[in-house]
Structure 1
């Protein structure tokens, strides 16, 4: 077991971001916090995230006494602290004295001091200062018994286009293309619109003026932004690895909001290799007016499984809200019971923590109305505080049962952020209807509804152990990846793919000769063209005697050995294949040629689940909106039964389980109130 894995802790972490540096002139508040922490059944706090100005009020003068007292207070109640490096928000004196730390935007305009995360990742001075700060933090607190882990910066993101970054971009490209401009020009298709590069100094980052038409350059710029961000992170952690080698390190990942799909600002699959524990910040828009609660829950579950699979170990929920946020278009409060339910869902999908942004509401500035455990009333008697305390008690009861958790999924969905970048750039198809991340979530939903565990893998991860692999809309695909998928099917796996798959290579160049040969052989089809729909366009497909509506995209194709399961019912391609199945060596490959309604996904995958005998964690019958998820540890399964609907649901248990609350064995009908959660147990071998 990795000595730096924080989940060796035998208790679940409950607490969150604590910003005592905002309250240093209110000593009564700081004393009150310690008392309230105990009442809220919290045990872990992230400190120092945005505290640089308090830690170094002027260049070279450090002030740690206040942080000593805060840590003493947390330690006095048996709590732990996650110590953050403060690089996410730089002090004003630094911006004034050293303007190189300020970012330059894509229009080549230097930022002013303000907001946060507007520092340049290439700045030598900023790298030097972060290392200096982090070394002092490690020297002072590295051996403190209550130090749990390091939290590096905060929600890395954004990009800089300054001269330093331009030079580093060119160096990145020289390394990538072996200092050979001919290779670069071929990869970027330089002759197009006379974009041939004849000197490295001619290369600049993409400008939003006119939008860059060189898609290969756009792709490499995004790769560089990820590379440079990760390189800055690695620079930050050097003193911490040196002085505290056994303390785990994380940085908080996030989702793309408000869509609540995988984050596309950085390549997290690469970043994940550099952290000891994955942590992420989850802010689903519960109670919204565009989808039902169960769908929001399914999308949240997808992201949880995405982060779990990055390292195939439990992750941390580093930020969430016990009530509302302040940055959605509509900042709706969680309804009674939703905080408990949504937190239990996080635990059920592999989180070893429920941590909040924030512990206490700020008194001023942009986050004064963002949700928190302690509101402006400073009371432990309001609804939100009581719900947090209730959850904390429940987490204490379940901690021993779920720590050490591992899971094995038979199903995986492949997500590739680089393909997402390239697809967004593609000037074709429907410019506003690509929806790559959302499409993956819709495929995932059919399994979540059936309580079938799903991993979210990258193209680099080993897929050989899965029974079913789903690869929707993998627009950018190398021949190597195509061969990997072919081998998966050849060896007995079942593969599902869709429209807009395999159209360009890893340089965003179309494949010579059309679809790659390994794909043609594996799927037994030949895609000919892609029809793109206006919202008013209509077409349908019949599958297993039911008609399903098509929207946005339809692949026109020929079957070259594949069995046709569904045909288009109208337009010039009426009667041609829309859905195919191909037996290939020991496995099967399915191709879904059109974007079909969710009802089709549910029917299609239900058929596959039966054929492949994929088993849920618990044999039970219930309506949509009830989710059953399992954590396996120490030879036992702890099973979370959750009602993500606004109605009382009755489900039927088809096997005998132990009710964790009553201590009695139950079977048969079980009633769940709206937003209700029941936790049951059974032997892993049962």
Structure 2
């Protein structure tokens, strides 16, 4: 249930046994190691030093700890880079990213892929059946430091081949799909196609979208290469990868098809701060605890990415070193984050890291222990969680009445052609998600093609490209469907549909978007709904309602929200307060029980166990049904704390 990230190569084998004993006392069961250790495993080509790793696994076995072994491919050693400097990635400005940190490789490099096959095979063959190795983590945080999209000659060649396969070897088919008659961009062969960087003006958006798809596929292939080797040499052990928060440069759903479950790295303080600043917001009332919805969105997303299963592979346990500023978490925050992850379905919460390193790039990044091995505040809170876990049954799965459709391709479309400031897919998604969570609803975050059976409401903040099979999926669904702006606004080749947006969705909601405008953050329109006014910024659409009902209008009398039977279309970038009111009203109409909670309080259900979280520095009282069995805490939620109770069957 609890784990930790550990680096025996930093401390020497003489300290491993002592550390493992302390971990066991703390309640740690799983230990992740090895993901950055290539130079210690193989300091020179063909020369291996296994002693330190052998002894680490032997100590874990003696003490009953379970090991997750990382493949060391995120950090190719210096000797390999010197032999093959062509494996280094190139940024969009044409600059080579050099050795000296991490993630210094190109996913497309044939040479590096062969080296990956070699080292992963050697490590997996040696340790794949070791009794203490229960699972594997491939690489580490694919794409971190802006490394998904490389612009090297290897990528150019691979991209040309990818395009040739996609377009069946027909260059005229590509020219038509990309609209290359515009600006005299026509190609005579696939060999003429360049990477979409270093252009005087914006690259062709269809070119960019295909390049983003290609780059995503390269990550998927790179990961699959490793998984296949591990499955061969380590049968019966799980394989996962540790994803990141708010990262959309590759399709996580597609990559996870090769995994047993998803993992992600949860750093609430830094993630909250970066997300808010990306939105242009500098006020952060959750600066020492993290925004509850920013954290829980990733839990719900990776539960969906992992096909119902996920771990937190790295859980913040103190200050990080990479955010705009790095505060100590509030007292109780580490405990709160742990229980929040478990409430959303995490099978294991693994802390980063065991001991703070006194050297190198992350020496200011805390751990459960300080560099001198003295326990941190986070250590004490983990100890508390370990004791509390003994009284809580977490065997039941999370079930949700609401699904939110999340689509990586839509994120790419928005980023390629936003059409104005503030147009950010993650911001739009977060507005919908946060409104649902404010009402106490469990939410599954799912891909567009996922089954919709069993959900009362399905929310699609935006789906720029609607595929035929996804349309059929929506048509079979008999619950309430809510679509946000820019849905169906592009074809698969990044063109405006001939039938005009929302394209194929007209079969469900027969409206027609005549024109759009981006409002920016300062131009404010007024929305009228149910006798109340709401501000609208960023985006609005001029829509012909055809045979739908107009259920909300702008102040200038143009339609803003449309309904046909159980399908809604929002032709604007909705304010969060509007969404809370709208979903509250909608839930009541379909007989779904909701309750509006204070801004810093959230409810999550896992089976018949209910968790109430207080992310504020104030004591807040929540209503606990009289017949409920209180397991932890009370109806008076202490600052940065929680209560857990077993609910009577609903």
State the TM-score bracket (shorter-chain normalisation): over 0.9
Distance, in Å, in 1 between the alignment partners of 2:101 and 2:314 is: 19
- 1:321 maps to 316
Quick check: 1:76 aligned with 2:69?
Answer: no
Distance, in Å, in 2 between the alignment partners of 1:207 and 1:471 is: 32
Quick check: 1:290 aligned with 2:283?
Answer: yes
Summarize the Cα distance change of 1:517–1:52 in structure 2 as closer, same or farther, 3 Å threshold: closer
Deviations along 1:91-144, one digit per CA (max 9) or x if unpaired, are 111111222322233344433212111112233332232222222222322222
Distance, in Å, in 2 between the alignment partners of 1:211 and 1:449 is: 43
Is the 1:558–1:576 Cα contact (8 Å) retained in structure 2?
Answer: no
Corresponding residue to 2:173 among 183, 202, 216:
183
Summarize the Cα distance change of 1:284–1:447 in structure 2 as closer, same or farther, 3 Å threshold: same
Is the 1:101–1:125 Cα contact (8 Å) retained in structure 2?
Answer: yes
Q: How does the TM-score come out when normalised to structure 1?
A: 0.88
Quick check: 1:641 aligned with 2:612?
Answer: yes
- 1:174 maps to 164
Residue 236 of structure 1, CA deviation: 2.0
Residue 153 of structure 1, CA deviation: 0.6
- Which shows bigger deviation, 280-289 or 78-87? 280-289
Is the 1:314–1:406 Cα contact (8 Å) retained in structure 2?
Answer: no
Summarize the Cα distance change of 1:526–1:199 in structure 2 as closer, same or farther, 3 Å threshold: closer
Distance, in Å, in 2 between the alignment partners of 1:97 and 1:295 is: 44
Quick check: 1:163 aligned with 2:147?
Answer: no
Corresponding residue to 2:240 among 246, 250, 265:
250
- 2:276 maps to none
Deviations along 1:372-396, one digit per CA (max 9) or x if unpaired, are 111123113x423212222233335
**Structure 2 residue matching 1:654: 3-state secondary structure:** coil
- 1:372 maps to 367
- 2:296 maps to 301
Distance, in Å, in 2 between the alignment partners of 1:600 and 1:21 is: 53
- 2:39 maps to 53
Residue 541 of structure 1, CA deviation: 1.8
Residue 550 of structure 1, CA deviation: 1.3
Q: How does the TM-score come out when normalised to structure 2?
A: 0.93
Residue 673 of structure 1, CA deviation: 0.8
Summarize the Cα distance change of 1:194–1:87 in structure 2 as closer, same or farther, 3 Å threshold: same
- Which shows bigger deviation, 513-522 or 527-536? 513-522
Distance, in Å, in 1 between the alignment partners of 2:558 and 2:207 is: 38
Distance, in Å, in 2 between the alignment partners of 1:335 and 1:551 is: 34
Distance, in Å, in 2 between the alignment partners of 1:673 and 1:644 is: 9
Question: Any stretches of 5+ residues in structure 2 without a counterpart?
Answer: 274-281
Corresponding residue to 2:30 among 44, 48, 54:
44
- 2:347 maps to 352
Corresponding residue to 2:249 among 245, 265, 272:
265
Distance, in Å, in 1 between the alignment partners of 2:45 and 2:201 is: 40
Summarize the Cα distance change of 1:464–1:211 in structure 2 as closer, same or farther, 3 Å threshold: farther
Summarize the Cα distance change of 1:505–1:150 in structure 2 as closer, same or farther, 3 Å threshold: same
Quick check: 1:590 aligned with 2:568?
Answer: yes
Deviations along 1:496-553, one digit per CA (max 9) or x if unpaired, are 1122221111111111131256433432433222232243323212212211111122
Quick check: 1:15 aligned with 2:34?
Answer: no
- 1:8 maps to none
**Greater relative contact order (Cα 8 A, min sep 6): structure 1 or 2?**
1
Superposition map of 1:122-161 within 5 A: 122-157=108-143, 158=147, 159-161=149-151
**Structure 2 residue matching 1:370: 3-state secondary structure:** coil
C-alpha RMSD of matched pairs (Å): 2.2
Is the 2:509–2:563 Cα contact (8 Å) retained in structure 1?
Answer: yes
- 2:278 maps to none
Quick check: 1:383 aligned with 2:382?
Answer: no
Residue 661 of structure 1, CA deviation: 4.3
Distance, in Å, in 2 between the alignment partners of 1:359 and 1:221 is: 40
Distance, in Å, in 2 between the alignment partners of 1:473 and 1:139 is: 45
Residue 648 of structure 1, CA deviation: 0.7
Distance, in Å, in 1 between the alignment partners of 2:378 and 2:302 is: 27
Quick check: 1:631 aligned with 2:624?
Answer: no
Question: Any stretches of 5+ residues in structure 1 without a counterpart?
Answer: 1-11, 256-260, 663-668
- 1:666 maps to none
Summarize the Cα distance change of 1:376–1:478 in structure 2 as closer, same or farther, 3 Å threshold: same
Quick check: 1:670 aligned with 2:635?
Answer: yes
Quick check: 1:332 aligned with 2:327?
Answer: yes
Deviations along 1:51-99, one digit per CA (max 9) or x if unpaired, are 0010001100111110111122223322111011100101111111222
Distance, in Å, in 2 between the alignment partners of 1:81 and 1:591 is: 49
Residue 35 of structure 1, CA deviation: 3.3
Residue 325 of structure 1, CA deviation: 0.8
- 1:420 maps to 411
- 2:459 maps to 470
**Structure 2 residue matching 1:274: 3-state secondary structure:** coil
- 1:218 maps to 208
Residue 284 of structure 1, CA deviation: 1.8
